[in-house]
Amino acid sequence: MERAGGADAIALRVAEVRRRMAEAEARAGRRPGQVSLCAACKARTPEEIRFSAGLPIDLFGENRMQEMRNNLEAGAYQGKPCHFIGHLQTNKVRQVVGRAAMIQSVGSLRLLEAIDREAGRQGILQDVLLEINLGGEESKAGADESELMPLMDAAAALPNLRVRGLMAIPPPESDEREARRHFARLRGLMESVSGWAGEKAPLDTLSMGMSGDFEAAILEGATLVRVGRGIYGERP
Ligand SMILES: *Cc1c(COP(=O)(O)O)cnc(C)c1O
């Protein structure tokens, strides 16, 4: 039997994920092709990533600064964009700003300010998403819902970054109905801040849904799904 990460297996899985994405878009009455597929490639080899870059994947998502650097240096993304989706420590910001086309996992004012400072130093405009903690106490990543408006206000005053939308990871034990409720909640939060006066760019990115629940996320309005195991197989 072929090992989980084999090239043929990856190609078949990407085709299947794309088929299911298209079906969910159709069920949601959305125009086809409105949802980007982000390959969450933590712990995969540069060879697996390079192969997958030739498949219909729109972009890559990295959790670790060092893996992102290695994969960039190896040319593994083949020119496709890479987003940072993992927990980002402020002392790693320097390495991620400018390398990641978007930093999806920004959940504190401290991190927003560190990203803005580094982007200013590099003379670039860094796109970010605000990560929201929908799971309450169980999950530690992301800002509480009540912090969303203060963070939007703070971001409006930072000249070197733009908030492009929201990201969330629902609590892992959620069943499909619960996951949909979380996704609907995130979409509602996005609607509550879009059109807000301080916006520097359209809030056009709603990053939600992973291997186990990306269809539910698409039904609730995701514009970007982050799929790992569904593309590469179980993690080593
Ligand atoms: C690993 C990871 C994913 C993908 O998870 P799978 O269950 O493998 O699809 C998505 N988002 C984030 C932030 C991740 O760390």
| Atom 7 (ligand 1) nearest CA | 211
CATH number, domain with residue 224: 3.20.20.10
What is the rounded CA–CA span in Å between residue 178 and residue 79? 37
Q: Could you tell me the residue range of the domain that residue 59 belongs to?
A: 2-232
Q: What is the pTM of this model?
A: 0.96
Count how many domains the chain has. 1
What residues line ligand 1, using a CB cutoff of 6 Å?
Answer: 40, 42, 63, 85-86, 169, 210-211, 226-230
Q: Per-residue pLDDT for 1 more than 80?
A: no
**195 or 112: which leads in pLDDT:** 112
Q: Per-residue pLDDT for 179 more than 50?
A: yes
- Per residue in 186-210, pLDDT (tens digit) is 999 999 998 887 788 889 999 999 9
Q: What is the pLDDT of residue 138?
A: 63
| Atom 13 (ligand 1) nearest CA | 85
| Atom 6 (ligand 1) nearest CA | 228
- Per residue in 48-95, pLDDT (tens digit) is 999 999 999 999 999 999 999 999 999 999 999 999 999 999 999 999
